[in-house]
Amino acid sequence: MSRVNVRAITDNQPERGARRAPRSIQMVGNGEEGWVEAKSCHVERRRMRCLICVLSGIVWAAGCSEHDTPGDASVLDANNADTVDTTDASDAIQVDTNNAPDVERDARNDPPDDAMDAADVSDDVSDAMGSDAVRAAIDMSFLLRPTPEMAFGADSMGGHGVVVPRLVFNEVRLSGGLPLASGENEDTIYDSLKVVGVRLDPCFVEGPIADRPCTSQVRVVLQPVMRMEEDLSTVTTRDAAIHAFYSVPLSELRVLANDLAAARATGPTEVGVVASAELASALVSNRIGGDRLTRIAFMTVIGDFAWTFGQFDVADVEPGGVLVRGQQTLRSGGMDVLNMSIRPAPEVEVDAVPYLEMRTRDMMTDASVAAALAAFERLLDPSEHNPGTVDCASCHVSTVALRFSSRGAPRPPNAYDDTRNLRMFGWFGIEESISPRVVAETEIALRFLEEE
């Protein structure tokens, strides 16, 4: 597999649009701006304790322990966790969020008012175009622009059940110890979760390529889309996300790609914002749902200084144990400052780590800096790494780190000029954010369909 010119992609992102007002974060405790760090760990959760301490201007998020924690700890008991059965398509449910999370109703008898007649739409497009559509990158990976009228969300009824069942959404808090977005009611967050990005991957690989078969997937990115308090006719996104993985047979994925190409007809072909948002949403919705949902990856946010990364497989959502792979990266400083830490420390591409932190970066030699930047480029290169060979946080910080390294060079502005932007694919406020890794992965996926 050929290497990808990550640097060229990083420096040629879409230009900035209207920006949300920058917000500064200052940690107070010892009279100085505090350095923010976090600890997390990989666990098989049976009884999880999460403890957050604020001491001397340093924030420690320490937890995910199966052992008793002394002191005043907030205890999360997983033995009574809600369960989701995804083995039978006839059991698709939708939860009435006006009641308790464990109140279920049969979605077949009481579908949401905004349910899209996706099957009819897909049939109409397929009948009109057949397999003659010419696929392009945007048919494999595209963004949906946030609007007040967005209907395609976590609680939408797809062709195979609710897009993200409420009980699965609840597991984000149970496994991570924190809500998806701090300061927001969880019912509000769930209701506001909209699909803002779609990825078609005919050959998803996790782990050493030689040892693992690939699987056909459709993945969607959901973010809270919320109305602005000062102008209810406009919206923004919270800097938190759910990445939902759906198992879709390759034959269906190929049809979906053709239908999306036919719906696009003309227009931009690169990865970006799709023009026919309503039709594209309907086509994707028809192929996904809770019965095909296999994994949830998430990024929670606290203010503008703390992000938690984690994931779990839906099959493991059961009383007594959820396998959670979590990692937390916290940052401090303003929007123009690169000053981050990742805890626990990455075990792969360790040369990149010192560059993230201001105090260690200032002491690096030219050779060490070059090694760090080369490591970031490898992290963004799918021919070098995949989700089974590297941690989430390292990938998410790589785009903004490379962008920061070339500051001062002539280039058009883009969303990654703000060092708080750790988004791989989605929206940073109202700015589209597309990591070079996503562009490279999309080209590989497109090539696979053409050659398969």
Return the number of other C-beta atoms located less than 10 Å from residue 303's C-beta. Answer: 11
10 Å CB burial of residue 218 (0-12, 13-18, 19+) is buried
- When divided into structural domains, the chain yields a total of 1
How large a percentage of the chain has pLDDT more than 70? 66
Counting every residue written for the chain, the total comes to 452
DSSP for 306-348 reads EEEEEEEEGGG-BTTBEEE--EEEEE-S-TT---EEEESPPSS
Which range scores top for mean pLDDT: 177-186, 207-216, 245-254, 295-304? 245-254
How many angstroms separate the Cα of 253 from the Cα of each of 213, 284, 446? Answer: 17, 10, 12
Determine the average pLDDT of the residues in 405-413.
86
Cβ-proximal residues to 257 (8 Å cutoff; 6+ apart), any chain: 135, 139, 140, 200, 449
Return the number of other C-beta atoms located less than 10 Å from residue 323's C-beta. Answer: 15
Give the pair of three-digit tokens for residue 374: 């080369």
Distance CA 355, CA 368 (A): 9
How many angstroms separate the Cα of 114 from the Cα of each of 81, 108, 110, 185, 322? Answer: 30, 14, 12, 23, 32
How many angstroms separate the Cα of 99 from the Cα of each of 57, 85, 105, 187, 358? Answer: 40, 20, 11, 10, 47
Distance CA 189, CA 194 (A): 10
252 domain residue, yes or no: yes
Distance CA 204, CA 448 (A): 11
Q: What is the pLDDT of residue 4?
A: 55
DSSP for 135-175 reads --HHHHEEE----TT---BTTSEEBTEESS-HHHHHHHHHH
Distance CA 248, CA 204 (A): 11
Q: Pick the closest to residue 310 from 398, 153, 216, 178 (CA basis).
A: 178
- pTM to 2 decimal places: 0.73
What one-letter code names the amino acid at 150? M
Distance CA 267, CA 381 (A): 27
59 domain residue, yes or no: yes
Distance CA 167, CA 394 (A): 29
Q: What is the pLDDT of residue 330?
A: 73
How does the average pLDDT of the chain come out, rounded? Answer: 75
10 Å CB burial of residue 355 (0-12, 13-18, 19+) is buried
- Res 314 pLDDT > 70: yes
373 domain residue, yes or no: no
408 domain residue, yes or no: no
- Res 85 pLDDT > 50: no
308 domain residue, yes or no: yes
Digit-coded pLDDT (tens) for 14-36: 554 443 333 322 222 223 333 32
Question: Facing residues of 74 across strands?
Answer: 50
Residues spanned by the domain of 102: 33-83+91-345+432-451
Digit-coded pLDDT (tens) for 115-127: 445 455 555 544 4
**Terminal-to-terminal C-alpha distance of the chain:** 16
Helix, strand, coil fractions of the chain, as percent rounded to 5: 30, 25, 45
Return the higher-pLDDT residue of 71 and 422: 422
Q: What is the pLDDT of residue 273?
A: 96
Determine the average pLDDT of the residues in 274-292.
96
Structure-token match 């938190």, residue found: 240
Structure-token match 């395609």, residue found: 152
Digit-coded pLDDT (tens) for 142-170: 999 999 999 999 999 999 999 999 999 98
Residue 219 has phi, psi (to 5 degrees) of -125, 140
394 domain residue, yes or no: no
Q: What is the pLDDT of residue 180?
A: 87
Instruction: Say which DSSP state 351 is in.
Output: G
Which pairs with CB-CB distance under 8 Å and at least 24 residues apart come from 177-181? 177/48, 177/50, 177/63, 177/64, 177/74, 177/76, 178/50, 178/300, 178/302, 178/308, 179/300, 180/224, 180/240, 180/242, 180/298, 180/300, 180/301, 181/224, 181/238, 181/240, 181/300, 181/301
Return the number of other C-beta atoms located less than 10 Å from residue 231's C-beta. Answer: 8
441 domain residue, yes or no: yes
